[in-house]
Structure 1
Amino acid sequence: MMRTDRETRKRDWRDFDHDNDCKRRQRGERHCTRDCSRERDYELERRRCEEEEQKAREEREREKQLEAIKEQYLGRNKPKKRVIVKPSEKMRFAFDWDAAEDTSLDANNFLYQSPCEASLLFGRGFRAGMDRREQKKLAAKNESKVRDEIRKKGGIVEKPEEAKAKRVKEKAADSYDGSDMRMDCHWSKKKLEEMTERDWRIFREDFDISYKRNFRIHPMRSWAESKLSSALLRAVERAGYKTPSPIQMAAIPLGLEQRDIIGLAETGSGKTAAFVLPMLTYISRLPPMSEENKAEGPYAVVLAPARELAQQIEDETVKLARYLDIKVVSIVGGRSIEEQGFNVSQGCDILIATPGRLIDCLERRYTVLNQCNYVVLDEADRMIDLGFDMQVKAVLDAMSSSNLKPENEDEQLDDKKIYRTTYMFSATMSHAIEQLALKYMRNPVEVIIGTAGKPTDLITQKVIMMKESEKVNSLLKFLDEFEEMSVIVFVNNRKSADFLGNFLEKGGYSVTTLHGGKSQEQRESSLQGFRTRKYNVLVATDLAGRGLDIPDVGHVINYDMPRKIEMYTHRIGRTGRAGKTGVAKTFLTLQDTVVFYDLKQMLIKSRSHVPPELDRHEASKFKPGTIPDRPPRYK
């Protein structure tokens, strides 16, 4: 019986399913076998790691037991704590020692039974502080003593020539030759001709005198050794100048040789006499002023920035020209120019003026400067600051330029010819003055006393940080504490001076004011009243900050801090003058940051106390106009 197609198809599908089932079973067995192998490897690795960890724990436990046994029998070894020491602390040397280490206290030590005292002239007269003269004498005596002992024992028979040589040696030791003598005494004990270059160097160091540019003239040690005339020496003695000040020691010998000088010295150091005495010596050698030559103008001109300073220079000049037939005239603003012009036209040897008034007299033909060969610019930098530079240049240009010294310093000067001599004096020197000196001066010698721009050490500087509202109470407290002393209170403008003066006057204080808004008569009256102690408080602007010599000013108060450190130097210089001590107090506020840096540097140089508020302020760490280094900014 034949099978149908349907049965055939069923049989074919069964065979196909059977084949697929076999394939699936074979494929499944293979996958299972691979997975079982991986699991067995993982299980073996896990067991191995657990065994290693178990061994490590047992080893650690064994080590802990050993450490416990060591600690029980040997003690615990604690590690030292590391202390971090700064390099500055590590290298610091301890100068203190215990009293037991001082061997000089041992009375039995023969080294300290007769200690040697250091000489007062150590390094200044003796070499290493040893007196060579005494050493020579002692050596000669010891040698003689040894020879006498040997002679007594019969060991030496002294010959006549040896005895003569010994006597000569002892005499030389007693007399001490001149070259050694120069090394033994101070310069103050030597005659002028015995001074050596080493002595002059020590002399300049003692008085803090220094020079810039070449100089070949030594300073003078006393008035007696100067080349001043007997009439000027009598005037100096009459004026009460016992010993010359350092600026006078250095500048007067140079001025007598007609050298151009730039003088920088602290306020109150005697700069006026330093240029007046050479000027009087120069004029005394010229023909006297007569009808024939008075129309040619004065012999010398002195320019000052303020009227009060010009009048002060006039008083000093008249006092020193007491025994000389020299006429002195001053012309300043605030007075009748016709009257002053008439006095000048009558002839004078020395003309003392402010720049503006002198230009007025020259323009109105009251005087000329045809024979003026001696010019002094006192407080030159102040004249430039006040805007007088054009007037100063006009005055210098009005003088004859045919008598200028040659620019070559080594060129020989004609003794028969009169050369122009130019002086510039100030407590500070600005760049504008240096440019002026380059044009109108010939090979000037710059004389510096102390440090340029630094106030004298006789002034005690005290700076107090405060608020603006605290100034008045601080001022009143200070004035009540020192009511018997003369006090100058500086402010920055006229309005503040009048307000503060009226306020103090209503409070019962004896006060006067001084500023540029007052007439000349009022200014002179205020100054005279303060000098004569009619008033003990002077409220002033910077008009009184330059050059004025007011004796016995005990205190200066900067009620308002000036905007420039140079003006601060001049203000506090109104006290501590002529060798006397003084105190300068400054009220500082946060509105004065422009001067913080310069003020801090000046206090440090003067070894004065710097307030912590000023020291920490950012404005005191960098000079105004400079930008400190800062890290770059990233966007």
Structure 2
Amino acid sequence: MTFKELNIAEPVLKALEEKEYLTPTPIQQQAIPSASIGKDLLGIAQTGTGKTAAFAIPIIMQLMNNVSSKSTGSNRPIRALILTPTRELAIQIEESFTDYSKYTDLKHTVVFGGVKQAGQVKQLRQGIDILTATPGRLLDLISQGLITLNGIQHFVLDEADRMLDMGFIHDIRRILPMLPQKKQTMLFSATMPSEIATISKKLLHSPIRVEVTPESSVVDTIKQRVCYVEKEKKIDTLVNLLNEEKEERVLIFSRTKHGADKIAKRLNKQKISCDAIHGNKSQNARQRALNDFKSGKKNVIIATDIAARGIDIQDLGVVVNYDLPDIPETYVHRIGRTGRAGHTGCAFTFCSEDEIPMIRRIQKLTGKKIEKVDIPA
């Protein structure tokens, strides 16, 4: 199936084709037809499944067909709200709206905490249709009278279980009564704890349920290795590993953006040419790094899980989990980037003492024991 077969509107289809997004993922195939006609949606899916497009494309298509106001500034009501737990994810979602709505007149922006609000307020005052927000900053701006939610027609609660884990559930309970009763609601969650199940029942009306089963199968063409190493010795161990794997293209996963930058800095000092990509890098910087990696100009790239979505090459030889992920399924998703199209691949995982429980959870999920290997530090 292609995006064209999903009856995607021409301006959005043109933008997708420019980005070479031609084949929808399973959750996009399931969600887009129902969401595009305004049905409520309950999506059981984790980051990396393509869920952003599953809600962004239907929102864009519906708002395109209903550009109710040519006015700008505070007279232009916010018509779609996407609530997400982290700054990094908020930026990623905003970038997706930039990509998909390129050939429309829709205005959109993102607000999140940890930075001064002046730039975000300036964008809001110019008038926007679609707002992506983290809960704390959204409530701050509402309390200052800079945002009102009474024009919302489409509401997305993204990564609901992670919102719960991060303690945002009280903020969400404050925000929900501010939204109009009549609207389309889409809720996405990787798991369905009882508190999220309760919220979903109150929030959703006759929802379409779409579900993507978490990956658990590990391709047999991928050799998995784990190296038990103290945190402070990880970087030296990595340098030695990369010197051994000079001929291979290597994707290194860091849990944080700061960590990715730190790894890249240390490797470049060791004359190992590489780039880091994550949500704080500009679109141009990320694209340049990806192009250098895909073309083979640089053989090493460090990425966070969200930023790594743009990396899709057939002959990726080695994946390194410098940090272990927060959930075992993410490990499967990470290492599945190697060993594709009949190629063999190798996945190395650096495991410090506090990460050992996660290794056990990964082995339980995959049903495979990861072979221990010693790499000198």
Alignment of 1:487 with 2:247, yes or no, is no
Which among 563, 588, 591 is matched to residue 351 of structure 2? 588
The superposition leaves residues 167-207 of structure 1 with CA deviations (integer Å, 9 ceiling, x where unpaired) of: xxxxxxxxxxxxxxxxxxxxxxxxxxxxxxxxxxxxxxxxx
Q: Decide whether aligned partners of structure 1 residues 573 and 364 sit closer, same or farther in structure 2, where only a CA change above 3 A counts.
A: farther
Shift of 1:532: 5.1
In the other structure, the counterpart of 2:135 is 355
> Of residues 189, 192, 196 in structure 2, which corresponds to 1:433?
196
1:132-211 equivalences in 2 (<5 Å)? none
Task: Find the aligned partners of 1:273 and 1:459 in 2 and give their Cα distance.
Answer: 30
Aligned to 1:464: 226
Would the aligned equivalents of 1:361 and 1:367 in 2 still touch at CA under 8 Å? yes
Please say if residues 514 and 539 of structure 1, whose CA atoms lie closer than 8 Å, have aligned partners that are also in contact. yes
Q: Is 1:232–1:320's contact at 8 Å kept on the other side of the alignment?
A: yes
1:339 is aligned, of 110, 115, 119, to 119
Structure having the higher Rg: 1
2: CA distance between counterparts of 1:295 and 1:510?
50
Q: Please state how far the C-alpha of 1:300 moved relative to its aligned partner.
A: 0.3
SS at the partner of 2:110? strand
Do the aligned partners of 1:512 and 1:538 also contact (CA within 8 Å) in 2? yes
Deviates more, 1:430-439 or 1:579-588: 579-588
User: Partner letter of residue 123 of structure 2?
Assistant: N
What is the CA distance between 1:341 and its match in structure 2?
A: 1.2
SS in 2 for 1:351: strand
Alignment of 1:359-398 (within 5 A): 359-398=139-178
1:441-495 C-alpha deviation (Å, 9 max, x unpaired): 223332123x23547869947241534387555422332214663522425796x
Is residue 275–residue 423 contact of structure 1 (8 Å, CA) maintained in 2?
yes
Per the alignment, do residues 308 and 510 of structure 1 end up closer, same or farther by CA in structure 2, a change over 3 Å counting? farther
Backbone CA RMSD of aligned residues: 4.1
**Cα deviation, residue 398, structure 1:** 1.9
Counterpart Cα distance in 2 of 1:499 and 1:295: 45
1:254 matched to which residue of 2?
Answer: 34
Preserved CA contact (<8 Å) 2:219 2:336: no
Identity %: 29
Is the Cα–Cα contact under 8 Å of residues 304 and 353 in structure 1 kept in the other structure? yes
Identify the structure with the greater strand proportion. 2
Matched, 1:305 2:67: no
User: Could you tell me how far 1:369 is from its partner in structure 2?
Assistant: 0.6
Asked if 1:545 is matched to 2:305, the reply is: yes
Distance 1:455 1:297, change over 3 A: farther
Q: Where does residue 81 of structure 1 map in the other structure?
A: none
In 1, Cα distance between equivalents of 2:2 and 2:282: 37
Separation (CA, whole Å) in 2 of partners of 1:326 and 1:530: 29
Q: Does structure 1 residue 603 correspond to structure 2 residue 363?
A: no
Spell out, residue by residue over 1:147-168, the C-alpha distance to the aligned partner (whole angstroms, 9 max, x if none).
xxxxxxxxxxxxxxxxxxxxxx
- Structure 2 distance, partners of 1:368, 1:599, is 44
If each structure's helix is expressed as a fraction of its own residues, which one has the higher value?
1
User: What aligned pairs does 1:231-310 form with structure 2 within 5 A after superposition?
Assistant: 231-265=11-45, 267-291=47-71, 294-295=74-75, 297-310=77-90
Distance 1:297 1:435 in 2: 30
Corresponding pairs, count = 362
| Whole-angstrom distance in 1 between the partners of 2:352 and 2:108 | 46
TM-score between the two structures when normalised by the length of structure 2: 0.77
In the TM superposition, residue 255 of structure 1 has moved relative to its aligned partner by 0.4
SS in 2 for 1:446: strand
User: Do the aligned residues in 1 keep the contact of 2:94 with 2:109 (CA within 8 Å)?
Assistant: yes
Contact 2:339 2:346 in 1 (8 A): no
User: Whole-Å Cα distance in 2 between the matches of residues 248 and 276 of structure 1?
Assistant: 10
The answer to which structure, 1 or 2, has the higher relative contact order (CA under 8 A, 6+ apart) is 2
Secondary structure in structure 1 of the residue aligned to 2:309: coil
